[in-house]
Amino acid sequence: MSTIISAQDLHIDLEGANEAGLFKWLLASFLMGKRIQGAIAAKAYQVIVEQHQCDTPQKIAHRTHRQLVVMLGQAHYVRYDETTASRLLALAKKLNGDYGGKVSNIVAASADRQALEKRLTEFEGVGPKTVEIFMREAAVVLYRPSTGASKN
């Protein structure tokens, strides 16, 4: 049985649906959404974000495929390292190009939660599992009536 890793476990602050937290949680969800042990995915997140300071889609987009493969390898995220590196670059490129580098712009462009989930699956390598992981915690801050950010 696998342990559920939360945003809090990774020291990701989602309060107020802040941009930095949303991107970091999307990145972590993306890594955890693959058929790989949660602990390895969490370590990959830490290597990429904490050790290599790739905490924005702009910073990821400025890395080479090889640099991302090396980062994933440092975390022993080796089963899918090549495809994951390619998909991380594609995610950063699409997020930067289509949404100004902001997860909050994906939210703003979506009429409701269902539309947001559909937009997320338009990113290469983002499937139902990644969306499920991301929405498990992001939905709480994105669709909380008291924040004024509710899109229900």
pLDDT digits (tens, 9 = 90+) for 85-110: 999 999 999 999 999 999 999 999 99
For the chain, give the longest Cα–Cα distance: 44
| Mean pLDDT score, 124-150 | 83
Q: What is the mean pLDDT of the chain?
A: 92
Measured CA distances, 71 to 4, 21, 106 (Å): 23, 21, 27
DSSP code string of 114-141: HHHHHHHHTSTT--HHHHHHHHHHHHHH
1.10.340.30, 3.90.320.10, 3.40.50.720, 3.40.50.10090: CATH of 14-141: 1.10.340.30
Q: What is the pTM of this model?
A: 0.91
DSSP code string of 60-105: HHTS-HHHHHHHHHHTT--TTHHHHHHHHHHHHHHHHHHHTT-HHH
Please tell me the distance from the alpha carbon of residue 115 to that of residue 30, in angstroms, as a whole number: 18
pLDDT for residue 77 is more than 80:
yes
pLDDT digits (tens, 9 = 90+) for 27-47: 999 999 998 999 999 999 999
